Homo-oligomer: A and B are copies of this chain.
Amino acid sequence: MLHQLVVLGSGGALPDLKRNTSSYLLLLEKEYILFDCGEAAQHNLIKYGYNKNKINHICITHLHGDHVYGLIGLLSSMSMSGRQYPLIIYGPIGIESFILHQFSFTEFVSPFLINFVELSNNEKCVIFDCKSYSISAFPLKHRIPTFGYLYQSKQMDLNIKKEAIEKYTLTVEDILCIKKGESIFRNSKLIPNEELVFVKSQPKSFAFCSDTIFDEEIVPIISNVDLLFHEATFLEIDISHAIKKMHSTANQAGEIAKKGNVKMLLIGHISARYDDFDAVLFEATIRFKNTILATDGLIVDF
């Protein structure tokens, strides 16, 4: 089952030639989930070749401009390009007014349903749940109300055992059912699913944490995820700025990943004050080995 994270915007507060403001696209088998939507996120969707209308969920962490200024333009373009399917937008209280107030000036009437889900939970809370996956939101500590998100798939990736195909003369229809976890009957006898398949891969999980001060309270929530995105705005040498601005250092991002025993850490939102991003990556890697640096256009499989 496809699980890829595409970096649409890896940068901090100010866009530059190489790094757009925050936006990350999770590609699933049949749809996309967007995490944050900085200005020109839709431009990078076009640039990297992803269909904006495959996005069914948009998870906004907080209402600082570099995480949300691209949302209104994306919604307008979805509308003008024939979208009909509903869209769910999650974010802090105010996100609906933030968008609808703008639309009230711009003659915009959405041809598709936009369902705003405003968050105010103090603990981790499931905000979407379907057969294939769930999305949870949990509070982060930043200067304004901010939420992290946790995606968890439910289905294991099952492959059919070769010997079962011959033994039970499985049809294409049988195989499709079995891959979904079902059992079959042969000569009035139940052949349990476990006998027909092997587990190709376990359910996957991804946590998105931006922006936040170093906060160990999120460790139980993000523990053991396959991929953790954690902001790393500053170097440890500038920790006083990190504390003042309620951001994290690269070292702290590594520390959270280590404590959470995650499989992979992706860091981004690096301050424009640093020329040498290798130094930021190096600092996080010392703390947590399997760390990669977000760059615009990067695709991370997990």
Chain A residues engaging chain B, CB cutoff 8 angstroms? 13-17, 20-21, 39-40, 42-43, 46-47, 63-66, 68-70, 72-73, 76-77, 80-81, 94, 97-98, 101-102, 105-108, 143-144
Contact = CB atoms under 8 A, between A and B. Distances in A.
Nearest to A76: B65
Given A39-B39, A47-B17, A76 B69 contact: yes
A102 B105 contact: no
A106 B15 CA distance: 17
A39 B70 contact: yes
B14 A81 contact: yes
Contacts of A68: 106
A17 B39 contact: no
Nearest to A143: B107
Contact of A43 (B43, B66, B97): B43
Contacts of A20: 43
Given A39-B43, A65-B102, A107-B143, 4 more contacts: A15-B43, A39-B70, A65-B108, A97-B105
Contacts of A65: 72-73, 76, 102, 106, 108
A20 B44 CA distance: 12
Contacts of A107: 64, 143-144
B14 A77 contact: yes
Contacts of A108: 65
Nearest to A16: B46
B17 A46 contact: yes
30 contacts: A13-B80, A14-B77, A14-B80, A14-B81, A15-B43, A15-B46, A15-B73, A15-B77, A16-B46, A17-B47, A39-B40, A39-B42, A39-B43, A39-B73, A40-B40, A43-B43, A63-B105, A63-B106, A64-B106, A65-B73, A65-B76, A65-B102, A65-B108, A66-B76, A69-B76, A94-B105, A97-B101, A97-B105, A101-B101, A101-B102
A200 to B, nearest CB: 37
A13 B43 CA distance: 13
A49 to B, nearest CB: 10
Contacts of A64: 106-107
B15 A42 contact: yes
B94 A98 contact: no
Nearest to A105: B63
Most B CB contacts (10 A, CB to CB) among A14, A73, A76, A143 go to: A73
A110 B106 CA distance: 24
